[in-house]
Amino acid sequence: MTGHADARSLFEGLTGAQPAGTWSAPGRVNLIGEHTDYNDGFVLPFAIQHRTHVAAALREDGIIRVASTFDAAAVEVAVADLDTIFPERRDEIVEWARYPLGVAWAALAAAGRDAASVPGADLAFASDVPVGAGLSSSAAIEGAAAAALDELWDLDLDAVTRARVGRTAENEAVGAPTGIMDQMASNLGRADAAIFLDCRSLEAQVVDLGFAAAGLELLVMDTGVKHSHSTGGYRERREACERGAAIMGVPALRDVTVADLPRAQELMDDVTFRRVRHIVTENQRVLDTIAVLHDQGPGAIGGLLVASHVSMRDDFEISVPELDTAVEAALAAGAVGARMTGGGFGGAAIALVAHDRVDHVADAVAAAFAAAGFAPPTQFTVHPSDGARRD
Ligand code: GAF
């Protein structure tokens, strides 16, 4: 069954009725530009074909109830109580349910609507997006919830506002200090294209990747090492970036250029400097990737992908041995380029591979994992897909 059918049957089992509709939003991979989003920088993600679906309908009372195929128990609260639950009492809600309920709370605030003015709703979720793989299963659930509630509650929020709502839910209702890249990719994604996003202005440009025309595919190598951005490492990296920006006297590391790095090195400790260097060089790599895609095509971006991985491994220190093994094995087997994708500390790496080499590269990565004594990776290709929508 597809996620779409699973969401419908979960809804029917929960309510004994048909949903008013189903909505969905995709996960994403990030081609390049990692940890740059919360530094007001540049990113180049694309939405993937894996989606989270929600079957939903209004209720007659003021209760909002969420259910998921991940968890046997549905969670229900009064819409009017969302304001008192989030953010202070969020720990009273089981973690997965904080995402959709946090979206409900943030969407009402974004629309300037009083919780007492809207009816309750039932929302039943099912997802094809692998969880904990660094493919933004959280942005997919947020995007699906925002699309459904926007329509059911007639909120009239545009896609960028729905992305902001998702980030607010993630930051305040879940407690993960993430940026806005994943929500923008999930809400604004386009089939066959990536989104070049300026995370300061939130201006988004659709960038034609041309993978198919160049005979290339993007292979995801999910290491199976689970990570969470609500915990330590991600927050620490963010704090180091904020410290670096403060030392440089700028609002965000977006305002530091490669030419400023020698001065940065004189002003800060080695660890802070290396965190700063990753962000500054990564922003430049995103801009270079855009230029190379335009001038030479996707077959020429491999060096930038590899440089990004090396910077995350050595300067930002967010890689793990499984990710490094995946990247090295893919490159040794002939991938055009490879890097870890997403927040790090586990999750997935990506490799840009010629269509007729995909099986060979995947086999080589699996063999390298076996040789290293790692659990087998899950590997599949992804293609750029449309963002959140009514199904
Ligand atoms: C996670 C976060 F959610 C994003 O905002 C981004 O910072 C990413 O890690 C790293 O680029 O996916």
What is the residue-level pLDDT of the chain in tens, covering all 391 positions? 478 899 999 999 999 999 999 999 999 999 999 999 999 999 999 999 999 999 999 999 999 999 999 887 999 999 999 999 999 999 999 999 999 999 999 999 999 999 888 999 999 999 999 888 889 999 999 999 999 999 999 999 999 999 999 999 999 999 999 999 999 999 999 998 999 999 999 999 999 999 999 999 999 999 999 876 656 899 999 999 999 999 999 999 999 999 999 999 999 999 999 999 999 999 999 999 999 999 999 999 999 999 999 999 999 999 999 999 999 999 999 999 999 999 999 999 999 999 999 999 999 999 999 999 999 999 999 999 999 999 9
* Torsion sign, CA atoms 30, 34, 40, 43: negative
What 8-state DSSP symbol labels residue 101?
H
User: Are 204 and 47 a contacting pair, CB within 8 Å?
Assistant: no
Distance CA 242, CA 26 (A): 30
Ligand 1: nearest atom to the Cα of 34? 11
Distance in angstroms (rounded) separating the CA atoms of residues 309 and 286: 13
Q: Which atom of ligand 1 is nearest to the CA of 343?
A: 9
Inter-residue contact 31 to 48 (CB < 8 Å): no
Helix, strand, coil percent values for the chain (each to nearest 5): 50, 25, 30
> What size, in residues, is the chain?
391
Ligand 1 atom 2 nearest Cα: 178
> What value does the CA radius of gyration of the chain take, rounded to a whole number of Å?
21
User: Does this model's pTM top 0.90?
Assistant: yes
State the distance from the centre of ligand 1 to the C-alpha of 180, rounded, in angstroms: 7
37 lines ligand 1 (CB under 6 A): yes
Distances (CA, A) of 284 to 281, 288, 292: 5, 6, 12
β-bridge partners, 51: 26
Question: Ligand 1 in contact with 142 (CB < 6 A)?
Answer: no
CA dist 192 to 17, 48, 166, 205, 308, Å? 37, 10, 24, 13, 23
Q: At what angle do helices 232-248 and 270-295 cross, to 10 degrees?
A: 90
Question: How remote is the CA of residue 375 from the centroid of ligand 1, in Å?
Answer: 25
Query: Is residue 26 in contact with ligand 1, taking CB distance under 6 Å?
Result: no
Specify the pLDDT at position 1: 46
State whether the beta carbon of 3 lies less than 6 angstroms from ligand 1: no
CA 281 to ligand 1 centroid distance, Å: 17
Is the distance from CB of 192 to CB of 246 less than 8 angstroms? no
Whether 178 lines ligand 1, by a CB cut-off of 6 Å, is yes
Contacts of 111 (CB under 8 A, 6+ apart): 153, 155, 156, 157
User: Ligand 1 atom closest to Cα of 33?
Assistant: 11
Ligand 1 geometric centre to CA of 9 (Å): 32
Active site residues: 182
Q: Which of 323, 391, 327 has its CA nearest to residue 364?
A: 327
The amino acid at 12: E
The pLDDT of residue 210 is 94
Q: In whole angstroms, how far apart are CA 136 and each of 4, 9, 28, 31, 59?
A: 18, 24, 6, 13, 29
97 in Cβ contact with 174 (< 8 Å): no
Task: Show the tokens assigned to 238.
Answer: 């963010």
- Closest to 87 in 3D by CA, of 164, 168, 179: 168
284 token code pair: 């430049």
**Ligand 1 pocket, residue 140 CB under 6 Å:** no
- Structural domains in the chain, sorted by start: 3-207 (3.30.230.10), 211-382 (3.30.70.890)
CA distance 242 to 286: 21
Which one, of 386, 388, 316, 384, lies nearest residue 350 by Cα?
A: 384
Q: Which of 35, 231, 278, 350 to mutate to test the pocket of ligand 1 (most atoms within 8 A of CB)?
A: 35
Kindly give the distance from the C-alpha atom of residue 38 to the centroid of ligand 1, in angstroms, as a whole number. Answer: 8
**Nearest atom (ligand 1) to Cα of 38:** 7
In a mutational test of the pocket of ligand 1, which residue from 129, 181, 242 has the highest number of ligand atoms less than 8 Å from its CB?
181
**Amino acid 230: pLDDT:** 59
Return the ligand 1 atom nearest residue 43 CA: 11
Listed in sequence order, the DSSP H helices in the chain are: 3-15, 82-85, 95-111, 137-152, 159-168, 181-188, 232-248, 261-267, 270-295, 302-314, 321-332, 358-372
User: Which residue's CA is the nearest one to ligand 1's atom 3?
Assistant: 178
Ligand 1 lined by 34 (C-beta under 6 Å): yes
Q: Looking at residue 229, what is its pLDDT?
A: 65
